[in-house]
Amino acid sequence: MLRRGPARTGRNELGSGTAIGVAIIFPMLMLLIVCLQMLSEAARIEQGVQAAANRAARAASLCCYHTGGSDGAEEVARASLSAAEASNAFNQVHCNNDFVGSSEVVFIDVNGDHVPNDPDASGNYRAVPPGGTVHVFVTCRIPPQILGGYGIPGLDADRTAEGVATVDPYRYRLGA
């Protein structure tokens, strides 16, 4: 009497379940990797723009007596943003808009009132409010190719940061 064993499958059929599983999971894994890359690029860009806004606000709060003019705090903030733009280019944070031109510098005094950056009726610029705050708003329009370049509809490619610094009330003291 002949004894028969269990039916044998062909050699090529042993790994077919694994290949099908990989074929199903691979596109989802690639989509996850692309999403993580886009999120990390967006976070890196936001950090660069926020650092530039903070540095510009700090420079404007420490530098000058007047808000506007060629030697005013607003110009110092814009010069700081210009230097930050070069630093951001080195760190591969590229903006499609004018980084310095799209910024806004706002001075708020201790009472919470806005201090204008333009000259008054007599042509003099106003003083930077001691104890007040300097707010620098910076917007960076990020090229879509940096965020993956996949043209996802509704992808917010504008990053806006606000840097705030308090104006030192004792910065105008003469040396002892």
Residue type, 109: D
66 Rama sector, left if φ>0, alpha if ψ -120 to 50, beta otherwise: beta
Structure tokens given for 160? 């806006």
The answer to whether 152 and 145 are in contact (CB under 8 A) is no
pLDDT, mean of residues 139-152: 69
Which one, of 53, 112, 64, 111, lies nearest residue 87 by Cα? 53
What pLDDT is stored for residue 114 in this prediction?
Answer: 82
**Residue 7: band (very low, low, confident or very high) from pLDDT cuts 50, 70, 90:** low
What pLDDT is stored for residue 29 in this prediction?
Answer: 92
pLDDT digits (tens, 9 = 90+) for 29-66: 998 888 888 788 878 888 888 988 999 999 888 887 77
Instruction: Write down the pTM of the prediction.
Output: 0.74
pLDDT, mean of residues 145-163: 69
The pairing of beta strand 133-141 with beta strand 114-115: unpaired
Q: Residue 106 has what DSSP assignment?
A: E
pLDDT score of 155 more than 70 = no
Mean pLDDT over all residues of the chain? 78
The pairing of beta strand 158-166 with beta strand 133-141: antiparallel
Query: Coil, helix or strand for 51?
Result: helix
Residue ranges of the domains in the chain?
A: 16-166
What pLDDT is stored for residue 171 in this prediction?
Answer: 65
pLDDT digits (tens, 9 = 90+) for 62-91: 887 777 777 778 888 888 888 887 777 666
